[in-house]
Amino acid sequence: MGQKNYITPLFLDFLEAADLTAGAWLPFEVNGIEGPCFTLRVTNDSEINVLLSYDGITAHEFLADYTKIDVLFQTNASPSGDVSKVKTGTVIYLKSELNAKLPPPAGYIYLAGYYN
């Protein structure tokens, strides 16, 4: 009997660049992501550099302005057949790399994720 592989996207979430500051982490979704993601995509469609955190304390990723990053959690699923995913309810945080620009920066930062 064959197996079916269902890939389900998360609801696309976004933050406005003008809401980010260098001093505080801002969560994408206060309740966390809705499913155990094997990949996350963060697209920085704004004019500022941002930092990404999985715990709201440590900066884990850097995103330059107008770039995107794909974080692949499945790549460390070893030995073959093991599952490695960011767990349901994980809160992803962002903050501006530097102090706020004047005038406030334009653009948005988007979070997308996929789970099965």
Q: Domain for residue 48, yes or no?
A: yes
Q: Domain for residue 49, yes or no?
A: yes
Q: Domain for residue 25, yes or no?
A: no
The arithmetic mean of pLDDT across residues 51-76, rounded, is 89
Q: Domain for residue 93, yes or no?
A: no
Better-scored residue on pLDDT, 112 or 78 = 112
Res. 65: pLDDT tops 80 = yes
Rounded Cα distance, 7 and 15, in Å: 25
Predicted local distance difference test score (pLDDT) of residue 79: 61
Beta bridge partner(s), residue 39: 72, 114
Tally the domains of the chain: 1
Predicted local distance difference test score (pLDDT) of residue 1: 54
**Domain carrying residue 58:** 39-80+106-116
Predicted local distance difference test score (pLDDT) of residue 76: 61
Better-scored residue on pLDDT, 16 or 115 = 16
Rounded Cα distance, 43 and 68, in Å: 4
| Portion of the chain with pLDDT greater than 90, in percent | 38
Q: Domain for residue 95, yes or no?
A: no
Q: Domain for residue 91, yes or no?
A: no
Q: Domain for residue 54, yes or no?
A: yes
Give the closest residue to 110 by CA, choosing from 46, 49, 63, 42.
42
Res. 109: pLDDT tops 80 = yes
HSE value, Cβ hemisphere, 13 Å, CA-based, for 34:
10
Q: Where do the DSSP E strands lie in 34-90?
A: 39-46, 50-53, 61-63, 67-72
Q: Which of 35-39, 65-69, 83-87 has the least mean pLDDT?
A: 83-87
- Which contiguous run of DSSP H or E holds residue 114? strand 107-115
